[in-house]
Structure 1
């Protein structure tokens, strides 16, 4: 485990924006009302709405796994600055899990999409398959912890990419539902705000280019499988449209052209950027833009009037 002093790098800021400098991470006790939110919350893009809504199936258990893993790692961190940042990260991720878990019942279940079968699969994955095993030796458990921290860092690379997309898409131009738009944009802004934390934590516990690359390869394959499985699950469960795998592909392409879904090209490019030896997460998104949205978010403002 590295005992080097933790240093944070300045976040990239797009031209014309003011760099807010170091940001103290804290959880925002937000709440959302989806009573009036339609299942297809992006008008004219039912399949794209479902693809974004699919994240509600994946995120609650995944975010809780982040929190559990960081609580396991926190007592081993001697750097108080990094430990404080981790505590802020834990608070934000716990709030993300709670907010998206609420969507499962206040939104998907109410619209006839039963999340329980998929939720049970996510519970097995994150609570069983990816949990530490008490029968292992202490040395093996520590090595496993480092591997899980690098998996989280790789996954957080994609959450930062999606967070930047959430801040810069065309949902509002298409008349998207305000509550669901605020949920994903608030979450995306916080992902951009804390995008360097998981990388810094993983480096602190054990840096290594091969370890980083292995974690990204595992995360990429795993996320592709989960996103594909989740998208098909919600599409097949949607009582208002006729499911077809090829229709999903065509509709994804149409949504990407309209700016309501990220383009595959942007995701592929961002994936390759992770393998650059000089990569650092502040190369994705803008802290200034994220902080500006969090100051304007209806849910965040209501939480801190």
Structure 2
């Protein structure tokens, strides 16, 4: 680690484990934030982006494992891989429910799959410098994306306005369980990038690429949902503007635009480290109370008892 990069807060490091959660969607309405299709669909984009993105994370990190020289970091990366695989599966399981409600996401998910599998996927490169360069680029991109998944995770853990507006409790549990694990493992991607490379120019360049891609894909996803929602017609179906996002952020049902913008210079600061952001204690507290996580823990105990 270079002298200009802050060291992690060691007291907050905990062993990472995948929690085998499951969710039941039969009682979740299409507009799970009552009376607010825009907020519902803005958050629903996660179900379209994350399965492909997190499968890609796992693929890249499995390639990086042999390069890790630090045993504790290797353990963290293995825990990260397990958690990301479970996140991908859990969001993937929402898609059949959307289809049952008349909203088929396949045209959009096909574009997302192309983005991660083709544009950012493995390339036919000769062993050596070129192949390592492409791996390090993708490790750095993941570090930038994880800055924002942790930001979103921290936001949803504290988004009390969604509760006040009667948002579906199962969907909130999925989002908060996932968000809590993103906060829990928020340092892993950056630590891996620092361990393998850590170059500031690469960090800044890949942040710009990741941020631009996320904005583009998210905007397309929201507009896709609004245009294809079978309950929306006329001007309402086409309504998906930045002003809508900004207003919902001020209302507390979506992340605030100002908070998102203020997170940019923090990531680009030379003394940045994810452990100095957000709260592991808050994340762990939610994971200890999450209905899905509790059910998974009880099932695991039952299996051990039966054995």
Say yes or no: does 1:302 pair with 2:291. no
Number of the residue aligned with 1:10: 9
Conserved? CA contact 2:227–2:238, under 8 Å: no
Number of the residue aligned with 2:151: 161
1:250 Cα deviation after fit: 4.1
Aligned residue pair count: 293
> What is the rounded CA distance, in whole Å, between the counterparts of 1:244 and 1:215 in structure 2?
34
Query: 1:1-305 alignment to 2 at 5 Å?
Result: 9-10=8-9, 21-105=12-96, 107-169=97-159, 170-242=161-233, 243=236, 245-246=238-239, 248-305=241-298
> What is the rounded CA distance, in whole Å, between the counterparts of 2:45 and 2:33 in structure 1?
14
> What is the rounded CA distance, in whole Å, between the counterparts of 2:176 and 2:133 in structure 1?
35
Number of the residue aligned with 1:14: none
User: Which segments of 5 or more consecutive residues in structure 2 lack a partner in the other structure?
Assistant: 299-307
Conserved? CA contact 2:226–2:238, under 8 Å: no
* TM-score (ref. length: structure 2): 0.91
1:244 Cα deviation after fit: 5.2
1:44 Cα deviation after fit: 2.9
1:179 Cα deviation after fit: 0.6
> What is the rounded CA distance, in whole Å, between the counterparts of 1:276 and 1:248 in structure 2?
30
> What is the rounded CA distance, in whole Å, between the counterparts of 1:161 and 1:63 in structure 2?
17
Between 1:135-144 and 1:158-167, the stretch displaced more is: 135-144
CA RMSD after TM alignment: 1.9
1:245 Cα deviation after fit: 4.9
1:254 Cα deviation after fit: 3.2
> What whole-Å deviation, never above 9, does each CA across 1:88-122 have from its counterpart, x for those lacking one?
000000000000000111x2111111111112112
Conserved? CA contact 1:164–1:284, under 8 Å: no
Residues 207 and 247 of structure 1: is their aligned pair in 2 closer, same or farther, counting only changes over 3 Å?
closer
Conserved? CA contact 2:226–2:239, under 8 Å: no
1:10 Cα deviation after fit: 1.8
> What whole-Å deviation, never above 9, does each CA across 1:209-240 have from its counterpart, x for those lacking one?
11110010111111110011111111111111
> What is the rounded CA distance, in whole Å, between the counterparts of 1:201 and 1:191 in structure 2?
15
Secondary structure of 2:212's counterpart equals helix
1:251 Cα deviation after fit: 3.2
